[in-house]
Structures are given as structure tokens and as C-alpha cells.
Amino acid sequence: DTNTLTENSPVFTKIFTECGFEEHDMTDFDPAAVRVFLTLLADKKMEDIEPGMFREVHKMAVTFKVDWLRQDCARWMEKRIIAAGGDNLEKFTYCFEESYYALKRLEIRVFMEFFKDNHGLSYEITNADMIDSPQYNFMMQYLKDFDKMDKEMICPLL
């Protein structure tokens, strides 16, 4: 339904109304994520989505300038970042990787800043207590293969 799309997005308004197209190719996005995106637009709310869908849904919200969905995605990610504390390395790593993706691919700094602010990550280990912290463990686990990873991935932590 193009009405749902144009009501939510100035980009879709331009595509369908101003340019007169009757459809838009969404093959650049994961088909399952497109279905979730369209459902969210129809419902006009995002209560929760699977972590595996977040990146694509957020990318579509940014690409198509769906402001309310971008804000809901930001709140969703902030909740995950806060909950990523403790010893759950998988959640911690997920939040870092999504924050890094948003920074590098979408030029959105807020997730990485929020991640750093909430988890006290720094390039300096200045306190002996830090060595047993989840932050230190994350950094040591994440950076164990530093020589094999994209060197830019560490820069947001500095």
C-alpha cells in the first residue's frame, strides 16, 4: 500500500507522488526485514524486533527517512546497550558491532557514544579493578585477533 509508505516517509512520497512511480525495488534489503519494516509502518509503532532484524530495519528507517522509526530504533538499541552490561560477552559484542556499523555505514555516532558512555570503555587501563571488569574482558576477547580485523574497528573506542 503506497499510502502507508508515503504517510511515513518523505522519500517514498517523492518516489510515488512526485516521480509517479507505481512501485519501488527493495531488493537491496533482506526480504524478511522488508516485511518487518512494512508491518512496522502499517502499525506505526515498534515494540520489539529480533536482534537479527535490527540492522536492516534501522538501515531502511534511515534510508527512507522514517523519523519515528529511527527514534524507536535508537531507543531499542539504547535498551540493548544498557542491558549488555555484566558478563554476557555475546550481547556486549552485538551492541558494539551494531554501534560500529551505524557509525561507519550510516554515519550515526549516537550508538557508539552511548555504548562508550554506558560501559566506560577507554583505550587506557588505568585502574587495577578494571582488569577483572566486563569491559576489560570484552576488549581482550574482541581484540584477540586484532591483526586479522578491520583496523578501523578499534578507533571508535578511543
What pLDDT score does 6 carry? 94
What pLDDT score does 145 carry? 60
> Using CA atoms, how far apart are residues 28 and 75, in angstroms rounded to an integer?
25
| Average pLDDT for 153-158 | 55
- Residue 78 exposed, middle or buried by CB count within 10 Å (0-12, 13-18, 19+): middle
Averaged pLDDT of the chain = 83
Length of the chain: 158
Picking from 3, 2, 7, 1, the residue whose alpha carbon sits closest to that of residue 69 is: 7
38 vs 55, 59, 81, CA distance in Å?
15, 13, 26
What pLDDT score does 35 carry? 95
Q: For residue range 128-150, what is the model confidence (pLDDT) as tens digits?
A: 455 556 666 666 666 566 555 56
Q: Which residue has better confidence, 134 or 62?
A: 62
What pLDDT score does 104 carry? 87
Number of Cβ within 10 Å of residue 93's Cβ equals 14
Q: Where are the alpha helices (DSSP H) in the chain?
A: 2-8, 10-13, 31-43, 51-63, 67-83, 89-106, 110-119, 134-142
Instruction: Read off the pLDDT band of 118 (50, 70, 90).
Output: confident
State the amino acid at position 41 in one-letter form: L
Q: For residue range 5-54, what is the model confidence (pLDDT) as tens digits?
A: 999 999 999 999 889 888 899 999 999 999 999 999 999 989 889 999 99
Q: Output the CA torsion 152→76→139→149 (10° steps).
A: -30
What pLDDT score does 1 carry? 77
What pLDDT score does 112 carry? 87
Instruction: Read off the pLDDT band of 123 (50, 70, 90).
Output: very low
- Check: CB of residue 41 under 8 Å from CB of residue 69: yes
